[in-house]
Amino acid sequence: MPENSSSSSQRLTVITCTAPVNIAVIKYWGKRDEELILPINSSLSVTLHQDQLKTTTTVACSRSFQEDRIWLNGKEEDINQPRLQSCLREIRRLARKRRSDDDPSNDISLSHRVHICSVNNFPTAAGLASSAAGYACLVYSLSRLFGVEGELSGVARQGSGSACRSMYGGFVQWKMGEREDGKDSLAEQVAAESHWPELRVLVLVVSAERKPVGSTSGMQTSVKTSQLLKHRADSVVPGRMEEMISAIQKRDFATFAELTMKDSNQFHATCLDTYPPIFYLNDISRRVISLVHRYNQHYQETRVAYTFDAGPNAVIYTLQEHVPEFVQAVRHFFPPETNGGEFVKGLSVDSASLSEELKRAIGMEPVPKGISYVISTQVGPGPCVVEEPNLHLLGPDGLPMKST
């Protein structure tokens, strides 16, 4: 239940929620409708654990607020951005519908303005798509504030396509749908977060010099110019979605890993096929790709997989038993600064040594400081409500607390 603080005559209703980041193993790239954010292919992702990566959002509502306002990572932003407006409008519409259907007594007036304050627990510099967690958290928080229940991934999708997948934990597919109004373009859980407890995720944060082309404009150019993208959407992804879902259901790591790598590679191939071409991978990304293939080759088994989004950072999927040795291989081939901060953040990783044989089989020249740090995490749950009132990001006056 939202909390009311009625210290003064102006009642403030406030609620705080958190939402996760997701990393696609079958990528979404390309829209058939820019406004409703409808994709040209279905996609599938893994929800990462919020202990390591999450967005926290507080929303507050009061009769005394003059206008809707939003603060992101400590800075006030423009509330009139079309995607923010779509989410606010859709939630208010659902709330109005619900009120007219039943309970007219809910005391949160829909005419009241909202204040929104949102922070990430990971640096923007980590280059992780924060829009997915951000919009999922916004939509989830507003839905709790206005008492809206049920399917909300269609609203989050209108903030950022990939955000619809962050509305669920575990393994999540976004079914592209067929309808023009987008009502069937929704996310759905394929398996719960407890389904595959040994699965681990390592985010390899690559030291990048420049900001790459954003995904929204990148995919627009790809849709306009890449024939490979059309082939991918029409003839490759449908079969891959089925194979991926079955690999997850069977916890078949080798198949899951191979499909993940092939799909990442095909996505980056469509970027190269875009005209003018878009380059998201850099030299370090390509060295991570080689490291993974040589590591797997050495063991004659697919133990580790990589995937890359619209930037140079690698996300590695592997099983718990291989984490210590693979992390040691990353440390060996990308030696970190000796007096820098901790190299591995998040879930603790046991130490391991590399055999001379493995080093020789990988046979790469080490690149000092090629990777800034690693975030070690696992599969996690969907958005949640934060119950402790001392964690609200907005104070009793409805403005951001000093620390945010």
- Which residues make up the interface to ligand DP6 (CB under 6 A)? 24, 27-29, 37, 43, 129, 131, 160-162, 215-216, 309-310
> Torsion angle, CA of 14/20/21/23, rounded to 10 degrees?
-150
* DSSP structural state of residue 33: E
Amino acid at 53: L
Comparing CB distances to ligand DP6, the nearer of 220 and 255 is 220
Residue listed under structure tokens 């924060």: 130
Comparing CB distances to ligand DP6, the nearer of 27 and 144 is 27
Shortest distance, CB of residue 372 to ligand DP6, whole angstroms?
Answer: 20
Comparing CB distances to ligand DP6, the nearer of 29 and 196 is 29
Residue listed under structure tokens 């916890």: 251
Shortest distance, CB of residue 390 to ligand DP6, whole angstroms?
Answer: 33
Please give the residue whose beta carbon sits closest to ligand DP6 in the complex: 161
Shortest distance, CB of residue 41 to ligand DP6, whole angstroms?
Answer: 10
Amino acid at 309: D
Residues with Cβ within 8 Å of residue 49, at least 6 apart in sequence: 20, 193, 377, 378, 379, 380, 381
Tell me the sheet residues that pair with 377.
201
Comparing CB distances to ligand DP6, the nearer of 49 and 115 is 49
Comparing CB distances to ligand DP6, the nearer of 132 and 292 is 132
Comparing CB distances to ligand DP6, the nearer of 39 and 398 is 39
> Residues 26, 241: contact at Cβ < 8 Å?
yes
Shortest distance, CB of residue 322 to ligand DP6, whole angstroms?
Answer: 25
Comparing CB distances to ligand DP6, the nearer of 50 and 162 is 162
Comparing CB distances to ligand DP6, the nearer of 215 and 372 is 215
Shortest distance, CB of residue 312 to ligand DP6, whole angstroms?
Answer: 12
Shortest distance, CB of residue 71 to ligand DP6, whole angstroms?
Answer: 20
Helix (H, G, I), strand (E, B) or coil at 269: helix
Length of the chain: 404
> Residues 56, 386: contact at Cβ < 8 Å?
yes
Q: Give the DSSP H or E segment for 216.
A: helix 215-225
| Spatial separation of the C-alpha atoms in residues 392 and 308, rounded to whole Å | 34
Amino acid at 264: S
Shortest distance, CB of residue 63 to ligand DP6, whole angstroms?
Answer: 34
Comparing CB distances to ligand DP6, the nearer of 56 and 160 is 160
**192-231 burial code (b ≥16 CB/10 A, e <16):** ebeebeebbbbbbbbebeeebbebeebbebbbeebebbee
Residue among 267, 353, 268, 20 at smallest CA distance from 163: 20
Shortest distance, CB of residue 24 to ligand DP6, whole angstroms?
Answer: 3
Helix (H, G, I), strand (E, B) or coil at 316: strand
| Spatial separation of the C-alpha atoms in residues 160 and 8, rounded to whole Å | 38
| Spatial separation of the C-alpha atoms in residues 75 and 85, rounded to whole Å | 18
Shortest distance, CB of residue 356 to ligand DP6, whole angstroms?
Answer: 38
